[in-house]
Amino acid sequence: MAKKDNNFKKTDTGNSSSLMLKFAGFREMGIFVFLIILVIVISIRSPVFLTFENIYDIGLDTAILAIIAVGEMMVIITRGIDISVGTGLGLSGMVVALILAENWWIPPWLAILMGIAVGAILGSFNGLLIVKGKIPPIIATLGTMSVFRGITFIINFQVAGGQWVSAHNLSDSFKAFARSTFLKIPNLILIAIIIYIIFYYFLNHTVTGRQIYAVGSSPESAKVIGINIDKITFLPYLFTGMLFGMGGVLWVSRYTAAQTDSGTGFEFTVITAVVVGGVAIAGGSGSIFGILLGSIIIGVINNAVHLIRVSPFWKLAIYGFIILLAVIVDKAISRRINKALLERRKI
Amino acid sequence: MEMIDKSKKTFSVKSFFLRWEVLLLLIFIVYNIIIIFTTPYYLDINNIFDMTFIFTEKGLVALIMAFIIITGNVDLSVASIMGLSSVAMAASYQAGVNIWAAFLIGLLIGTSAGFLNGMIITRLSLPAIIITLATYSFYRGIAYVILGNEAVSGFTKKFSYIGQGYIGNSPVPFPLIIFLIIAVISIIILHRTTFGRMVYAIGLNEKAAFASGIPIKKIKLLLFTLSGFMSGFAGMIITSRIGNTRPNIATGFELEIITIVILGGVMITGGVGNMWGVFISIVLISTIRYGLGFHNVPGQIMLVVTGGLLISSILINNFLKTFVSNRVLKR
Amino acid sequence: MAENILELKNISKQFPGVLALDGVDFDLKEGEVHALVGENGAGKSTLVKIITGIYKSTEGNIIYKGKEIEWANPLESVMEGIAAIYQEPTIFPDLNVAENIFMGHHKFNKYTRKIRWKELYDKTRELMKNLNPNIKPKDRIIGLSLAERQLVEIAKALSMEAKIIIMDEPTSALSISESEELFSIIENLKQDGKAILFISHRLEDVFVVADRVTVFRDGKLIGTKDIKDVTNESLIEMMVGRKVKDLFPKIDVKQGKEVLRIENLSKKGNFKNVSFSLHEGEILGFYGLVGAGRTEVAKAIFGMDLADSGKIFIRGKEKKIRNPDQAIEMGLAYVPENRDEEGIILDTDITTNISLPILESVSNFGWLDKNAEIKTANKYSEMLEVKASGLDQKVMNLSGGNKQKVSLAKWLASKSKILLFDEPTKGIDVGAKAAVHKFISELASKGFAILMISSELPEIMGMSDNILVMHEGLVTNYFKKGEATREKILQSAISDKK
């Protein structure tokens, strides 16, 4: 409570404690270094890793993850969590795919908008349960996680008699969309880049974006200042919904299929990417660059598992281990920072 | 002071009906009356006993989960521990270990997994929710690493008794008896012992409990270890009942187990709840499953039902709370 | 004569069971520093919350800038130029200085909705120029000291062109030099025509900074005086409302054996080389400013936050205490300062609270004996005269004084003979205060050894046998009975000299 200084000057810039304090602002740096080391190690083990084709593949496989990670990060910044993103993605993808299967004329961009709309409805539902129903985020989204999955099944059963939507049900233009390129960049990656630019701007340069950080940093202070906490808490869930809705449609295009179990466990991959990207699970901090790096790390590991011919069954265990590691390292760092703060006192 | 006094006296009758367990019991009775009249064979005694097979595994874990949630924590890794210990048991059996030694290995792996959760949570003061979310994937991942896509079956006849056996020639299943014994013990421990009192105190105000000399870290560690043990045991029961195992066994059970506990009136924020409510909730969810089974409702619908129940029970609980506190304020 | 910027007429505020403010008439002028003083629970903070719109008054009118107003929410009062700076700054630790100042009223481009960062940083630099130019707009709050954070709050008030700035205990956690800096800033604000409402426990500060002073007691406004018309003594008498003697019924007790000895207890960043000893029947007063490190010492002894080094002897034997459980075993008890967070469980009944540290003695092999539990709870709540509708009443519905009594009662039921009291009368009314004092005094006469941390000088002087004074983590003085004077104690508590 009583952290104080004997003089107003920021003391001693050279010693280790203030270095520690500086490091607090450059979390992304550490993540970046980790990524570089990872890349070096893998490329020594497997020369194919750094080929253009492989990097291209990593990009395609990471794009959807990276897109949804943006939403999840905003939710976690406001001290929440959304574990319905995997099944939400599956449901949005299924709904749009079923419509597309009957309407081949629908252009890909319209399909994406439809996905966003479906996702917005699902996301608002989450947001309302949490803001108006006062249900803790983890429980509310745990509930909707299974509700979404159940509805995916029911819709699929009612509309298509339980037949999954597969490649021959979809139009060629839609199937080609994810891979076809614009200015030599695949659409999937291009969309991810646009999303990152939009949300970089939103989170760092608009009032609402900054208020998201404020609410997560100190809800009590935010209330005193008169920030509309309900609105700011609701928005991240809505955005996450829109993003996983979009992700669902892109998923169908990328893998040319919509199954009732699409996206199972994907929430876990997303949360792992976000936590690895340096977003504090306690809320208040996290950056777009961080989660971009986090998503790429996950993409690289995924890719490496195939390249180095580790059994794919290791993936789940590795994710779990990495998230444990990230949380523990983060705790150690914040302990060091607090200690460094205290040591500025001359006692 | 007087104000509060009055509201208390006039409320006693109404507050009985506002008690969550009583509400649950009413729901249970109404549901059963409806289903009995619409479903032939529902009341068949053998059917009813056999129904209990589907809830004992989850019920056992839910009992411990109730303790954990009352302390204000949660264990998301229970289903993964069930899977891991089942796979560990099967793999040792496959490698030629005696079935009962394999059974003990399964229990030991489950207990250790829970212990590891508890150690990380208490030693590093990290939130249980994020740690068990990590181990939820970690433990399941190890199960996949051990068995890959294989399934193991062909356990001995004696082993199958644990999950499918009956007591003597009666229609009473063996696992039901185990569940009832542990349920009674849980009720007694939570409501009649100092340990139960400490569990509530931690959930209501962890700092004050700590400052009052309650060994909160020991209790948390014990509970997470117990949760691991019970998940391991439940993993053995389900393996024995189904007769085979795969790495994805018991996937998604954590959701149903937490739903049972929350539906039983335990507040996710800790400190509030009642083992009777959890018990009624276990029975209620199973009869819903059982009843819907008669009407050929597919399993996936149960996902919507459980998720919906989880959400609506908290909504109703929150609504009742504001309703009651408004009434008290108005007086 | 300056204009009244704010007038309160006949303001009352009723809480369930408590009349927090009773017919208060109050005014604040432009360009004055108006101090509010009074004991904890006298009604000062309720008044502030009514002025800022956090509470609505049950009765009465607020006239601001000549117009009668009623705030719909706290934001409205902020927008109209009333800024409050609380003890614990309401600040966003993850954001930088400029954003903290402008959060809630960011300047942005209407069309792109882009925040005008340059303007933000320029304005911040300008605001900080007069307050403390060493604080840069892009500094993160997490690296700032409490004093620096307060300046950020002041800058925030100025950025919103506040007419009234309310400071709630701003100096309580500051060092002397920091306080002096703050006073000169307050002087400047006054020159600019701001009205400043200054709430403080430190009467010394009030005499330095205030033009007028208003005294509250038990929810009533006792009087408003020009600072030159009052003395320290007359202020205290107005605050306390009775002769100081009645409030401190100290019984003289012959001191017995040493029961607790602390040697060179240190914890980096908190306290260093703390040594003292405590005897049967002794009340050892532990004085210091807020943040001096007294609570940290008590918590280290009680095993809540462990010290880095040093020795603890109990009845002559060195003991290692790693957690409160062990401390209780060795006969220690700690009544914490922040009662509602650490002392009691609000959301449960009196019985459960009292029996919490002594569950072993109301049970057989872990089996809870509810009759024994109720009997024990009854005995101690009667002994302390806890006023409640019954033992099954939830503690959160009790008044502050009765909550404090419950927080004491739970330790009396234990077998602990060494009692560490941390601000035992904080936030309770004068009546309850006298009762608690009487009780502490009786405990000492029964042979209990008591360490009493207090930030109220009259309490320290009135209740203690011996007095220990701490400043900035170091013990600066130890006064034997009769040696201490007001001035000497204060001097040791505030001296920057080591």
B85 part of a folded domain: yes
- Grade residue A175 by pLDDT with cuts at 50, 70 and 90: confident
Instruction: Tell me what the mean pLDDT of segment A81-97 comes to.
Output: 93
Token output for C145? 């000291």
Which domain does B291 fall in, by range? 44-323
Contact: B194, C368; criterion CB under 8 Å: yes
| Residue B96: inside a domain | yes
CB contact under 8 A, B255 and A331: no
In 3D space, the residue among B133, B306, B258 whose CA is nearest the CA of residue A147 turns out to be B306
> Looking at beta carbons, which residues of chain A come within 8 Å of C269?
339, 342-343, 345, 347
Is A281's CB within 8 Å of B318's CB?
no
Q: Which residue of A has its CA nearest to B145?
A: A313
The verdict on a CB contact (< 8 Å) between C342 and B207 is: yes
Q: Is residue A8 included in any domain, yes or no?
A: no
Tell me, yes or no, whether A4 lies in a domain.
no
Residue B39's contacts (CB-CB under 8 Å, 6 or more residues apart) are: B291, B294, B295
A15: pLDDT strictly greater than 80: no
Assess whether pLDDT exceeds 60 at residue B11.
no
Residue B160 touches chain C, beta carbons under 8 Å:
no
Q: What is the per-residue pLDDT for A37?
A: 87
**Is B21 domain-assigned?**
no
Q: Does A217 touch chain C (CB under 8 A)?
A: yes
Taking CA atoms, what residue in B is nearest to C298? Answer: B211
- Decide if A225 is inside a domain: yes
Cβ–Cβ below 8 Å for A221 and C290: no
pLDDT confidence bin for A113, thresholds 50/70/90: very high
Which among C88, C103, C140 has CB closest to A214?
C103
Say whether C356 and B209 touch across the interface (CB within 8 A).
Answer: yes
Total domain count for chain A? 1
Distance CA A73, CA A202 (A): 13
Q: Is residue A6 part of a domain?
A: no
Residue owning tokens 């082993």: B159
Band of pLDDT at residue B79, cut at 50, 70 and 90: very high
Q: Is B148 on the interface with C (CB under 8 A)?
A: no
Q: Please report residues of B whose CB lies closer than 8 A to that of C329.
A: 213
Give the residue ranges of chain C where pLDDT is below 50: 497-498
Task: Convert the pLDDT of each residue in B143-172 to its tens digit.
Answer: 999 998 888 988 888 888 888 888 888 888
Write the pLDDT tens digit of every residue in B226-243.
999 999 999 999 999 999
Residue A229: CB partners within 8 Å, gap ≥ 6? A215, A219, A222, A223
**Chains touching chain B at 3 or more Cβ pairs under 8 angstroms?**
A, C
Mean pLDDT of the region A184-204: 91
Q: Which residue of A has its CA nearest to C120?
A: A205
Is C155 within 8 Å of C130 (Cβ atoms)? no
> What digits encode the pLDDT tens for the residues A288-347?
999 999 999 999 988 888 777 777 778 888 888 888 888 888 778 777 777 776 665 555
Site from B212, B216, B272, B328 to mutate, C interface, most C CB atoms within 10 angstroms: B212
CATH number at residue A197: 1.10.3470
**Cβ contacts from B onto C, under 8 A:** 87
pTM of the predicted protein model: 0.84
Q: Give the nearest chain C residue to B214 (CA atoms).
A: C325
Q: Is residue B200 part of a domain?
A: yes
Question: Hunting for tokens 């037949």 — which residue is that?
Answer: A163
Backbone angles phi, psi at C54, to 5 degrees: -70, -40
Phi, psi of B245 (to 5 degrees): -145, 150
CA distance C307 to chain A (A): 13
Range(s) of the domain holding residue A139: 17-343
**Measured between CB atoms, which of A218, A343, A345 is closest to C92?**
A218
CB contact under 8 A, A206 and C113: yes
Domains in chain C, CATH or no CATH each: 4-242 (3.40.50.300), 246-494 (3.40.50.300)
Q: What value of ipTM does the predicted structure carry?
A: 0.82
Distance to chain A for B81, nearest Cα, Å:
13
Residue in A146, A275, A314 closest to B141 by CB? A314
3-state secondary structure of A144: helix
Q: Is the pLDDT of residue B140 over 50?
A: yes
Residue A5 belongs to some domain of the structure: no
Q: What is the 3-state secondary structure (H, E, C) of chain B?
A: CHHHHHHHHHHHHHHHHHCHHHHHHHHHHHHHHHHHHHCCCCCCHHHHHHHCHHHHHHHHHHHHHHHHHHCCCCCCCHHHHHHHHHHHHHHHHHCCCCHHHHHHHHHHHHHHHHHHHHHHHHHCCCCHHHHHHHHHHHHHHHHHHHHCCCCEECCCHHHHHHHHCECCCCCCEHHHHHHHHHHHHHHHHHHHEHHHHHHHHHHHCHHHHHHCCCCHHHHHHHHHHHHHHHHHHHHHHHHHHHCEECCCCCCCHHHHHHHHHHHCCCCCCCCCCCHHHHHHHHHHHHHHHHHHHHCCCCHHHHHHHHHHHHHHHHHHHHHHHHHHHHHHHHC
Would you state the pLDDT for residue C498? 41
* CATH classification at residue B98: 1.10.3470
The pLDDT of residue C283: 93
Decide which of A7 and C19 is more confident. Answer: C19
Q: Looking at residues A14-22, what average pLDDT do you find?
A: 46
Mean pLDDT computed over every residue of chain C: 85
Please tell me the distance in Å from A22's CA to the nearest CA on chain C.
9
Nearest Cα residue in chain A from C175: A6
Looking at the complex, does the CB of residue A5 fall below 8 Å from at least one CB of chain C?
Answer: yes
> Given an 8 Å threshold on Cβ–Cβ distance, is B145 in contact with A314?
yes
